[in-house]
């Protein structure tokens, strides 16, 4: 009897485990490629962009003093040392009454441009900054003695703290040239009348208020490119007192010390009295600012 039972056909080939192994190998290869691409892209620091973008969007700026200071002598204002200029409207000067504001009938010739006034420094051949630094060790004792003698000559005239004579101070030879130029600029308008807002429309004016006076002198040294109000001078330069120049400012008033001598409209002895004054004042309530390196 013949067995007619159909024999099962040969089973079709099924990859089974080999196909799974192939898939696993392909996945590993793709994973390795992804890791390699990620490592390569990581060298470009893609994560830095969102953080910078977020900081830019938030309006955050680097802290004061974080940026490198520009060269001394370059025409620059608050933007030079702080990264951007803070605009502050001119506020009433609380010390205007002690600044001998000029009556309406007083007329004074206009000042020269600050840069022109700054040229009235000691004769050509004044020591460079490098020479001054090299000689400081030997000259410190002589400098202290010279300042003591100079202050003895800076006696106030009646009616206030203004110095007498022609109202100017000698320009010392043993300070950086930029400081000499600031003194020369301050000397050029030291006896000009006080008028609130004077010196703000332009450096060239026939009367100057407190911030107009300081702005003019700083511009003569190349440390300011446009007049600034008292409030704006609160962010000029860098924080703290300087070695040669210290500007004191608040929203309503400003003055400065240059080589240890005060330059101030408040406390003058008359309408045409000097802004250079023989004694210091209480600096409480004022922000101290200086130019980096000075």
Locate 130 and state its tokens: 């490098």
**What pLDDT is recorded for position 111?**
82
pLDDT in tens, 193-233: 999 999 999 999 999 999 999 999 999 999 999 999 999 99
**What pLDDT is recorded for position 52?**
40
Alpha-carbon distance of 88 to 251, in angstroms, equals 8
Residue 106 pLDDT class (50, 70, 90 cuts)? confident
Say whether pLDDT at 74 is over 50. no
Least confident of 82-91, 173-182, 267-276: 82-91
For residues 38-49, give the mean pLDDT: 47
Strand partners, 156: 163
Alpha-carbon distance of 263 to 208, in angstroms, equals 13
CA angle, corner 164, sides to 160 and 168, nearest 5?
Answer: 110
CA 182 to chain centre: 16
Alpha-carbon distance of 2 to 5, in angstroms, equals 9
Greater confidence, 22 or 195?
Answer: 195
Sign of the torsion formed by the C-alpha atoms of 251, 225, 278 and 172: positive
**What pLDDT is recorded for position 51?**
41
pLDDT in tens, 229-245: 999 999 999 999 999 99
For residues 84-96, give the mean pLDDT: 75
* Percent of the residues in the chain that have a pLDDT greater than 90, as a whole number: 45
Q: In angstroms, what CA-CA distances link 165 with 53, 74, 192?
A: 60, 33, 15
Greater confidence, 292 or 13?
Answer: 292
Q: Right CATH number for 78-290 from 3.40.50.2300, 3.40.50.150, 2.60.120.10, 3.90.1720.10? A: 3.90.1720.10
Q: In angstroms, what CA-CA distances link 215 with 107, 169, 237, 240?
A: 21, 18, 12, 18
CA atoms within 13 A on the CB side of 251: 4
Say whether pLDDT at 81 is over 80. no
Of 121, 135, 85, the C-alpha closest to 221 is: 121
For residues 163-190, give the mean pLDDT: 94
Show Cβ contacts of residue 81 under 8 Å, excluding neighbours closer than 6 positions.
64, 65, 67, 69, 70, 236, 237, 238, 291, 292
Residue 43, Cβ density class (10 Å: 0-12 exposed, 13-18 middle, ≥19 buried): exposed
List the domain boundaries for the chain: 21-57, 78-290
Alpha-carbon distance of 248 to 180, in angstroms, equals 19
């Amino acid at each position: 009897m013949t067995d007619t039972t159909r024999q099962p056909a040969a089973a079709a080939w099924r990859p089974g485990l080999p196909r799974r192994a192939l898939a696993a190998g392909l996945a590993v290869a793709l994973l390795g490629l992804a890791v390699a691409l990620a490592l390569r892209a990581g060298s470009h620091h893609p994560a830095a962009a969102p953080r910078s973008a977020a900081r830019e969007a938030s309006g955050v700026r680097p802290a004061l003093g974080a940026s490198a200071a520009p060269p001394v002598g370059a025409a620059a204002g608050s933007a030079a040392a702080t990264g951007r200029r803070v605009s502050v409207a001119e506020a009433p000067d609380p010390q205007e009454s002690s600044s001998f504001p000029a009556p309406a009938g007083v007329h004074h010739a206009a000042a020269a441009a600050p840069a022109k006034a700054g040229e009235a420094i000691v004769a050509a051949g004044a020591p460079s900054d490098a020479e001054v630094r090299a000689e400081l060790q030997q000259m410190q004792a002589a400098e202290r003695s010279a300042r003591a003698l100079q202050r003895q000559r800076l006696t106030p005239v009646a009616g206030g703290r203004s110095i007498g004579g022609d109202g100017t101070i000698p320009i010392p030879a043993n300070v950086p040239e930029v400081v000499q130029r600031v003194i020369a600029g301050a000397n050029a308008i030291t006896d000009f009348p006080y008028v609130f807002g004077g010196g703000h429309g332009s450096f060239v004016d026939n009367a100057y208020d407190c911030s107009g006076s300081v702005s003019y002198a700083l511009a003569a040294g190349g440390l300011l490119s446009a007049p600034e109000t008292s409030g704006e001078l609160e962010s000029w330069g860098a924080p703290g007192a300087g070695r040669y120049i210290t500007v004191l400012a608040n929203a309503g008033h400003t003055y400065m010390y240059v080589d240890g001598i005060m330059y101030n409209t408040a406390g003058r002895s008359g309408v045409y009295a000097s802004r250079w004054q023989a004694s210091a004042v209480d600096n409480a309530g004022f922000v101290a600012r200086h130019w980096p390196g000075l």
